[in-house]
Amino acid sequence: GLQHHPRCLLCDQEPETIRHLMLACPFTRQTWHEILSCLRLPAPAPEHDDSLMDWWLRAKESTPPALRKALKSVALLVPWMIWKHRNACVFDHVSPSLNELVDRIKDKARCWAKAGAQGLRVVLPSSWDVH
């Protein structure tokens, strides 16, 4: 019985599917790029025509073994935060904000590192002050 928006609320360009929302949406792709870049993970951001499995296999292959725990954490954290941001747009009528989403992902990454996510501790920039 919930209203369904005909197009993605984050980019307003295509119908919202889970693949679009997590991998193909320009807003989402920019989010992935920003997070992977600031964490200095060599994994590629998702491509427009990737499936989640295609991206994961390519990302894992291009990431050195010492950084794969961090990649695994990021592969869980980023989609979860995208979903939360999308829900805030749907239910709370928040306007999509790339900067706000990236800042929230950074905050959560710091929290996860403090809580013991060793992989994230390895890649978090020192300017994020995890200690």
What pLDDT score does 48 carry?
74
Residue with tokens 């499936």: 51
What pLDDT score does 46 carry?
84
Residue with tokens 């990302």: 59
- In 3-state terms the chain splits into helix, strand, coil percentages (rounded to 5) of 65, 0, 35
**Tally of CB atoms within 10 A around 81:** 20
What pLDDT score does 50 carry?
80
Q: Is 8 helix (H, G, I), strand (E, B) or coil?
A: coil
Q: Provide the whole-model pTM.
A: 0.91
Closest CA to 41 of 56, 63, 65: 63
- Dist. CA 128–CA 131, nearest whole Å: 9
- Dist. CA 50–CA 69, nearest whole Å: 22
What 8-state DSSP symbol labels residue 44? Answer: P
What pLDDT score does 131 carry?
53
CA atoms within 13 A on the CB side of 96: 17
What pLDDT score does 4 carry?
72
What pLDDT score does 33 carry?
94
Phi-psi region of 116 (alpha: psi -120 to 50; beta: other; left: phi over 0): left
Asked if 106 contacts 120 with a C-beta cutoff of 8 angstroms, the reply is no
Tens place of pLDDT per residue across the chain (131 aa): 667 778 999 999 999 998 899 989 999 999 999 999 999 999 998 887 788 889 999 999 999 999 999 999 999 999 999 999 999 999 999 999 999 999 999 999 999 999 999 899 999 988 776 55
Give me the residue spans of the domains in the chain. Answer: 18-126
